[in-house]
A and B are shown apart, each in its own frame.
Chain A
Amino acid sequence: MKKLREIAKELLEKKEVDLIIGYEKGTEDFWMRPCFVDNIVDIEKLTFNAFCNINLSKYILEHKDKKVAVILKGCDSKSIVVFLQEKQINKENVKIIGVPCCGIFDEDLIDKTVDYNSHPADNIKFVRERCLVCENHNPVIYDILVDDKIQEKIYKENIYEEIEKIEKKSQKEKFEFFKNVFSRCIRCLACRNICPVCFCKECLIDKQNPLWVEKKITLSDILMLHLIRAVHMGGRCIDCGGCEEFCPAKIPLRKIYKKMEKDVREMFGYVPGRNIDIPPFHSTFLKEDKDEYLKGEKGGENF
């Protein structure tokens, strides 16, 4: 990681940025935590390896008054595209240090044989599920690249395989599956707090007037909370995997948000987080949008 530290040092010395947001080693070898560097001495803490799972882009929103540099992998850089589409940041104050990434290890899947500095592409069985369907190993937007770009290769043949498995179930089986899964939710809202595109100052889930989500622990209130998140994520979720990874009850949230991504892609040809120049999905329409999805004619039984 010498090159990363050289780039960081140069940015701080030339005063192009006031703060660098990166990763540093945590209390264990497989825990990497965010690190905020504003002087040359602390640059030695910055590092990057296959355990850097957190998406750092959300921290930019807390430092809008400063010039910031942030270290982003391929998947994380897509959240910057969403920020720029929705006019949340000023690009002149943000420098993106892009890191081409071929996978991140999952803390729950590794065993004693793992080599902490090994290449994820050689150890696919330890790589987290989200990385197996990654379509952007290289950052889609960056100012400086730490390494050469790597070849784009999707590890799984069908990126929507898990979603299609659920779609094929009968209506009763689907309901039972989601009822079991959501009954574990403790409403900690970690999924909302880690999500980069969830940045409303006043969230509907907390709002008292009108009251959308009540205080009971019944299925209807828990489902309302998750439906609010799902409806607001439609066409905006960039699949960084944070919600599922940090859920204390291990709820498979990506199965819902990936389904929204699949639908928006199939029905309207829109993929979030790729292109700054096109407007966000919900703010436009086409007169040629089809009615058949609305009437349920397309797709038949298995949606």
Chain B
Amino acid sequence: MSDNFEPKIVGFFCNWCSYAGADLAGTSRLQYPANIRIIRVPCSGRIDPLFICKALLKGADGVLVAGCHPGDCHYSEGNYHTRRKLSVLKRLLEYLGIEKERFRVEWISASEGGRVASVVKEMTDEIKKIGPNKIKE
């Protein structure tokens, strides 16, 4: 495992809460690692569990999904559906032998710029320790 390993983390951020939170981190000049590549989706409920599977199988070292807090979804119910779908997926991925640090779900609101920075930093550090994704071929 070389010390120069820089993980590639894919982030799915919901437009109304988490993406605004990431914007706030930017305007407040908070530093967080550039290992994350953020994709904006209208709601975390838009996220098909297969997006996460495809990202991990194509070589992403980690996937972070961020949505509004339960009860605060801009579309009222989207994040409740996310919770159901992704709870089952999380258990399935760990059963198949993919490390649990590689897939993470967080509820981040638009005012939590500091949390965006700390969650991304934490995840990058953890994945640096466990090494690159072995599935990509």
Q: Could you tell me which A residues sit within 8 Å of B by CB distance?
A: 166-167, 171-179, 204, 212, 218-221, 223-224, 227-228, 230-231, 234-235, 256, 259-260, 263-264, 267-268, 281-282, 285-287, 289, 291, 293-296, 299, 303
Chain B interface helix/strand/loop/mixed: helix
Q: Does B80 contact A (CB under 8 A)?
A: yes
When distances are taken between beta carbons in the complex, the residues of chain A under 8 Å from B85 are: 282
Contact of A212 among B50, B134, B135 (CB under 8 A): B50
When distances are taken between beta carbons in the complex, the residues of chain A under 8 Å from B95 are: 166-167, 174, 256, 259, 303
Do B88 and A175 touch (CB < 8 A)?
no
Do B91 and A218 touch (CB < 8 A)?
no
| C-alpha gap A176/B50 in the complex (Å) | 22
Q: Could you tell me which B residues sit within 8 Å of A by CB distance?
A: 49-50, 53-54, 57-58, 70-71, 77, 80-81, 83-92, 94-100, 105, 107, 134-137
When distances are taken between beta carbons in the complex, the residues of chain A under 8 Å from B137 are: 218-220
Q: How far is the CB of B6 from chain A (nearest CB, A)?
A: 21
Q: How far is the CB of A215 from chain B (nearest CB, A)?
A: 14
Q: How far is the CB of A103 from chain B (nearest CB, A)?
A: 28
Q: How far is the CB of B70 from chain A (nearest CB, A)?
A: 7
Do B97 and A172 touch (CB < 8 A)?
yes
List the A residue with the shortest CB-CB distance to B96.
A178
| C-alpha gap A221/B59 in the complex (Å) | 12
- Could you show 10 A-B contacts with beta carbons less than 8 Å apart? A218-B137, A220-B137, A224-B54, A227-B92, A231-B50, A231-B92, A260-B88, A282-B84, A287-B80, A291-B107
Known A178-B96, A224-B57, A294-B87; contact A285-B80, beta-carbon cutoff 8 A: yes
